[in-house]
Amino acid sequence: MTAFSIVLLAMIAAFLGMRLYSVLGKRTGHEQEPVLPRRDERTGPSPVRLDESETPSAPTASSADTSGLVYEPAAEIGLRQLLATDRSFDAGRFMEGAESAYRMILEAFWSGDRDTLRDLCDDDSYEAFVEAIEARDARGEKLENRLVGIESAKITAVDMNRNEARVTVRYQADISAITRDADGKMIAGSMSDASRTDDLWTFRRAIGSNDPNWLLDEIEAA
């Protein structure tokens, strides 16, 4: 694969004084720029439900196969804390929704579907996506990207902050990306090669909220 065809690597860019982070494009002169805020303070498988014990316990070394779980062992303490606070939370059902959201958000950004992005993203993430879409439109560029498949999706971390929960999911996926100019000429990407992405998406939700939906809060490269 040539360097020119690898268009989905991380980059750092600034928009209107905000620090935004791109995880779906490497600048080669003409390509998509999906960007989201990067927070400075930030320090499939069958559904799996954690044991409902309210006492978090540190994960212990084990030779047991965890390949079928929807979470990584390091996230278990946080998941138990979340479950103790919100009994309705189910890791398996969450991941089913998270995989659907991943596909929907990518496709919405690629097509410029602001309404779908508004429903699935928090304010900062939505504004960052819209800025990238507007910049792309100003250049007269169109994307012909396609999510080939999600190779892996697992919860890597859960953070509880007062009445808000933040769940981070690591996605490893293959994406075919093509960018065309206003005349329809391909200016970036490849029609035959797919690029592997390895990203961390963080979703947030207010505990006890009547709204069951989780919103995309930020994205960063794994």
Mean pLDDT of the chain: 77
pLDDT exceeds cutoff 50 at 38:
no
Handedness of CA 113, 116, 119, 124 (dihedral sign): negative
Per the structure block, which two tokens stand in for 115?
């309404």
Q: What is the DSSP string of 64-119?
A: S--TT-SB-GGGHHHHHHHHHH-TT--HHHHHHHHHHHHHHHHHHHHHT-HHHHHH
Structure confidence by residue, pLDDT tens digits, 134-193: 999 999 999 999 999 999 999 999 999 888 999 999 999 999 999 999 999 999 998 788
pLDDT of residue 16: 25
What's the pLDDT score for residue 31? Answer: 39
Closest by CA position to 161, among listed 78, 49, 56, 93: 78
Evaluate whether 189 touches 179 at the Cβ level (below 8 Å): yes
Output phi, psi for 20, to 5 deg.
-120, 150
Q: By the 8 A CB rule, do 126 and 134 touch?
A: no
Task: Give the residues across from 215 on adjacent strands.
Answer: 204
| Strand extents, DSSP E, 141-183 | 142-143, 146-161, 164-176, 178-180
Report pLDDT digits (tens) over 62-111. 434 445 789 999 999 999 999 999 988 999 999 999 999 999 999 999 99
123: enclosing H helix or E strand: helix 123-138
Q: What structural domains does the chain harbor?
A: 3-38+65-221 (3.10.450.240)
- Provide the pLDDT confidence category of residue 20 given band limits of 50, 70 and 90: very low
Tokens of residue 26, six digits:
């490497």
Q: Bigger pLDDT: 196 or 10?
A: 196
CA distance 90 to 77: 14
pLDDT at site 67: 55
Task: Name the token pair of 165.
Answer: 């929960």
- Give the span between the Cα atoms of 46 and 93, in whole angstroms: 9
User: Which pLDDT score is estimated for 22?
Assistant: 33
